[in-house]
Structure 1
């Protein structure tokens, strides 16, 4: 792992403060990350379920954290593809959390998957696969 939990947390707070709206970093390892979102009224859609955009945002920021654990603090690494399958209804007022795992990291791309869980629901509520573009060294920082 290239960065520590504390370094990534400080980087996210400084460079991507709007990311806090999608969840908070809970754990970080070599090529993986976990984040949690405290669900409130703004995350719900009619019918009493967590909205798709809330789950997608959590999944995306969690994958970003996992990728940075491998490549370092690279602000210009960006999502180029995100696919998500909503598997079951999350609990309406319970936190959701995500775990991202990198499958492959190359010079210009990182690919991984994210499982999203709802507190009190044993099985995942969503599964996502993502590809991130990694900028060349000369464009980093």
Structure 2
């Protein structure tokens, strides 16, 4: 799909297709799935509501460093991928982009648990977009990392 074309509707099925077709094979090896896609605010949304997406990274020993801790590289790749999907949701369709900056603050280790990434678009721009991601341990729903990122829109 060229960057000029958009599907008739950007929805969960289209987001899953992008996740499977656009990202590098090693990203697909992370076992990511899209849990939720938020394109339009719900009727009871707060005034500061932002489009977003929630992705899940299934736990695997292959993603762990010594001691059974999910490695930071996998967590950062999850956050980056979740933010791309959130930007596509805000854009209501595919648009090529590249990560310009990603700052990650690790809060606590996560082991033996899936990880959830809740990504929110802070600003969707013509040439740059910005977002934030909170990573949670699916086992106890406690935050394990906070991520701020910037993307150049191509």
Q: Normalising by the residue count of structure 1, what TM-score does the alignment of the two structures yield?
A: 0.87
What is the Cα-based RMSD across aligned positions, in Å?
Answer: 1.4
Q: 1:55 aligns with which of 67, 75, 100?
A: 75
User: Which is helix-richer, 1 or 2?
Assistant: 1
Q: Partners of 1:52 and 1:80 in 2: how far apart?
A: 19
Q: 1:73 aligns with which of 67, 72, 94?
A: 94
Q: 1:20 aligns with which of 4, 25, 28?
A: 28
* Structure 1: gaps of 5 or more residues: 136-141
Hey, which bits of structure 1, 4+ residues long, moved more than 4 A?
Answer: none
Q: 1:3 aligns with which of 10, 22, 28?
A: 10
| Aligned residues between the structures | 132
User: How big is each residue's C-alpha offset from its partner over 1:22-47, in whole Å with a ceiling of 9 and x where there is no partner?
Assistant: 31111101220000011111111112
Bigger mean CA offset, 36-45 vs 16-25: 16-25
Give the match for residue 96 of structure 1.
115
